[in-house]
Amino acid sequence: MTNMELLFDLVYVFAITQLSTQLEHGVTLRGLLQTAVLFQAVWWAWGYTAWATGWINPERKLVAALMAILMVLSLLMASAIPDAFEHRGLAFAGTYLTMQILRSVFMVWAFGIKQTMGRNYAQLLAWSVIAGLFWIAGALIHDPDTRLAVWALAAVVDLSAPMHGFTLPGVGSRPMSDWSVAGGHLAERYQLVLMIAFGESVLRIGEGFAGSHWSARSDVAFVLGFVVTFALWSLYFLHHAPEGAETMETSEDAAAMGRGAYAYAHEVMVGSVILLAVAVHMAIAHPDEGVGSGFAAVCLGAPALFLLGITLSKHWLGHGRPLPLVVGAALLALLGAVAGFSDRLAELGVAAAVSVVLAIWAQLDGGSADEPSIQIP
């Protein structure tokens, strides 16, 4: 990974912070849907850039200039997030669309329309424009609910385009076999952005605790928040990440695997970590407050979605679908839907307990008899 790619990824720390702050101001069904739509645009803007830098050298002068422009646009897009459904909708949609078009135009120019990659990006460009029409149309609508509906449609168009190979009438589709990628490099990029999301979650935990009254229950919420975050982190980085990177490095079908196991499955995981940061921050600030449907959705829904994301990633990498992860996700979803918890602290405790059990299972299941023991003098 180059220093330019690392700097580009760090720009998205701000976007992740903006999304979690936006959601915490309104943990309702509307707030969740709005944040999900905004996150889809942020994720796609980052993801397409991550894939592009697998084919072009980010440290070449022209590419570095492109990356710098994309960083500025990313910051502008993230700055508009808090008011995207009010008076800054056009700023959000406009910067997002500019990024999508500019990147694809550059790639078509770099490869040439006669080359396979040039044609790939020409059709990607066409679908970015199609989705962009809905993004801009939604931004011009003043009613927040109608804007949400139109932007949700735009997000679906964006999300589904790679699934059908950017098919265009009279041209056909671009099969994933035409998108040759360096699998190990792509896996590294997605692992890093997930690490950035976890880093933001840790910052939110510390920020929430620093601003609390340091009561006994806030202290417990702080500890539980860190425990569930660490447990989910270990499930991914100590067990899934190494085997995923190895599979991508050696696979002859890395592009297809990367689309499912990383572009889509990691979107679920990164989004869930953002939800988790919000839940922990709320629990630390008000541990005794009653549990509403909104808090249940983020507190138990976050680890459930994270487990679902790992399960999907394993499935698309050909590593199976571990039953304990599926059971854990289903249990958390069920408890969030039907259980009546006394307060936020109790619900966070359940999320932590399930996450720790699964982390221990992964450690025991992944252990090896040949693994050297630690010698303590």
3-state secondary structure of 87: coil
Over the chain (377 residues), what is each successive 10-residue block's mean pLDDT?
A: 92 93 86 96 96 92 96 97 96 98 97 94 97 97 97 97 94 90 93 94 86 84 95 94 93 92 97 94 85 83 95 92 89 81 86 94 66 40
One domain for residues 151 and 265: no
Task: Classify residue 112 by its DSSP letter.
Answer: -
One domain for residues 174 and 189: no
pLDDT for 294: 82
pLDDT for 191: 96
Q: How many residues does the structure list for the chain?
A: 377
One domain for residues 189 and 160: no
pLDDT tens column, 92-111: 999 999 999 999 999 999 99
pLDDT for 90: 97
Q: Tell me the backbone φ, ψ of residue 119, rounded to 5 degrees.
A: -70, -35
CA angle, 32 then 34 then 35, to 5°: 65
What is the pTM (predicted TM-score) of this model?
A: 0.93
Q: How many domains does the chain have?
A: 2
One domain for residues 156 and 207: no
Residue 204 domain boundaries: 183-366
One domain for residues 194 and 316: yes
One domain for residues 191 and 174: no
Out of 178, 198, 219, a domain closes at 178
Give the end-to-end CA distance of the chain in Å, rounded to a whole number. 38
CA neighbor of 303 nearest in space, from 342, 347, 273: 273
pLDDT for 376: 38
Q: Is residue 265 part of a domain?
A: yes
pLDDT tens column, 270-299: 999 999 999 999 899 888 887 777 888 899
Q: Is residue 375 part of a domain?
A: no
Out of 178, 210, 245, a domain closes at 178
pLDDT for 366: 67
One domain for residues 173 and 190: no
One domain for residues 48 and 118: yes
CA angle, 10 then 15 then 21, to 5°: 130
pLDDT for 339: 67
One domain for residues 190 and 162: no
The domain that holds 303 is classified in CATH as 1.20.1410
pLDDT for 340: 67
Q: Is residue 49 part of a domain?
A: yes
CA distances in angstroms from 220 to 13, 203, 216, 234, 361, listed in the order given: 27, 17, 6, 21, 24
d(CA 229, CA 363): 16
Q: Is residue 371 part of a domain?
A: no
pLDDT for 137: 98
Q: Is residue 376 part of a domain?
A: no
Q: Is residue 267 part of a domain?
A: yes
- State how far Cα 104 lies from the chain centre: 22
Out of 134, 161, 178, a domain closes at 178
Q: Is residue 377 part of a domain?
A: no
One domain for residues 223 and 314: yes
pLDDT for 205: 86
